[in-house]
Amino acid sequence: MKTIFTSLVALISSLILATTANAQTTYNITSNANWSTFTIPTTCSNCTINISTGVTLTIDKSVTCQNCTFAGGNVSITNFTLNIQYAGPVTTTNFNNNKLTINGTGKITVNAPLAMTNSSFTFYGTSTMTNSYQFDMTNSYIDLYGNSKWTANGGPVNMMSGSDIAVGDGSVASTATFLMNGPTLNIYGTSKIAVGNDNNTYQNWSTYNTAPTVGGTVTSHSSYNGTPSTNMNCGAGYAHACSNPNLYGPSSLSAAGTVQGPTILPITLEEFNAELNSNATIGLSWTTAQESNSSHFDIERSTNGSEWNKVGEVAAKGNAYLPSLYAYTDENPSNGNNYYRLKMIDLDGRSTYSAIRVIARASLSAKVSFFPNPAHDYVNVALSGSSATQVTVRLLNQAGQVLQERIGTSGNGATVSFPVQQYPTGLYILSVVGADGTHESSKLLINRS
């Protein structure tokens, strides 16, 4: 009887311990917070950390997470270590819709299976990551910037649903490295690895596999070169001697195999907008998510959506892996519909077009003439038109500074006059702005002789 009782107590105790071990603790972070001040334990077991959109959780000490899930928001680490482990049965740590940034000498040490879904890991400085188990990326990104390094000691490493790994930040100073130290690399669909320049390296003695889908037909590729005649970005004329298994950039690994030069588009456009300004000019603004060897943007305009003319040009950043903002103002749009598109051109002359944006600009109802031209003491601006419309008439210098302004009404033969005897000889601008924001501008010569 005593033996039965003792066994029963042991069984109950083990069940209690198992229940405690599997209990999930949830932390909901709705405003910026530090790991320590939010009272998350230094070793957090079976934790779900939900972070609101736009909110950052800063890991301000070295911590361990066992059987964890990070969902949403941002996580930032600077000069500390995040240890990812499992407790009990082998359990996957998940990052879902999360942006993880590692700065300085920060470290991610992964001793458990890890799955990224719609997430990104970005490494700066001399930060590092090592993993020892399967590593899955689904529609996710890993950016190794600066002199950072990822060492994959375990695997496989599976890249799925358009996942990308960027090795290098585009600068010559970057020595970022991705080392496949034994495990298998599987690249599915349109996923790819881009190695930035000849100071960045991808290292793998083994072949890597590509397939259109998980379970699809597999093709194996070598990432280093067997003979000097096929070496990429190394040897004479390059920064480094050829040394297997180093693959230097610019190069890429994808379904196309190992290719010299980047296969990603020169520019990844994230947003492109057009709007009519109050002065009847049209403002264009756009954002790039990343750029690789980009040269410039041609701004093209059409009045019918089929015949295009270049109306401007904006220099690109060249190489950027963070969002970049651009703007352009069309000072002289056409009356009626104005169609705009961007022609995005890289340093090799390759190009791609943006989506089209259209802005309608009404015609100015006032018909404007002015006299005399050249002017000496006065200039008279005659306003006529089919309907009475209030307009603003401005005299500007070449710098765009408004010197004088008058309000008039078109349609009744009105004339407004500006005294100009106080201005030196030179070219000036007469601008007439309608109530709807449309405008017409003409050059005026003031001659003091």
Span 280-333, pLDDT tens digits: 788 899 888 777 778 899 999 988 777 889 999 999 887 765 678 899 999 888
Residues 129 and 24 in one domain: yes
Instruction: Answer yes or no: do 115 and 217 share one domain.
Output: yes
Domain tally for the chain? 3
Do 59 and 186 belong to one domain?
yes
Q: Long-range contact list for 36-42, CB < 8 A, 24+ apart?
A: 36/60, 36/61
Domain final residue, candidates 361, 394, 424: 361
> What pLDDT is stored for residue 385 in this prediction?
58
- 274 lies in the same domain as 253: no
The DSSP call for residue 189 is T
Q: What digits encode the pLDDT tens for the residues 148-157? A: 999 999 999 9
* 215-245 core/surface letters (b: 16 or more CB in 10 A; e: else): eeeeeebbbbbeeeeebbbbeeeeeeebeeb
The boundaries of the domain holding residue 57 are 18-260
- Asked if residue 12 belongs to a domain, the reply is no
Tokens (6 digits) for 391: 């307009």
State yes or no: pLDDT of 232 exceeds 90.
Answer: no
Mean pLDDT, the chain, integer? 83
Strands laid side by side in the 439-446 sheet: 402-410, 389-396, 426-434, 439-446
With a pLDDT cut of 70, the percent of the chain lying above it is 84
Do 42 and 162 lie in one domain? The reply is yes
pLDDT digits (tens, 9 = 90+) for 352-387: 777 788 887 655 444 567 888 888 888 888 876 545
Place 22 in a pLDDT band, splitting at 50, 70 and 90.
low
Q: State yes or no: pLDDT of 20 exceeds 50.
A: no
Return the pLDDT at 13.
41
Tokens of 58: 């800063």
Task: Mark whether 184 and 142 lie in a shared domain.
Answer: yes
Q: pLDDT: is 169 or 9 the higher one?
A: 169
- Residue 170 within a domain: yes
* Same domain for 317 and 175: no
pLDDT of 229: 44
Whether residue 37 sits in one domain with residue 110: yes
Predicted confidence at residue 277, as pLDDT, reads: 78
Percent over 90 (pLDDT), the chain: 41
Query: What pLDDT, on the 0 to 100 scale, is given for residue 324?
Result: 80
| 7 within some domain | no
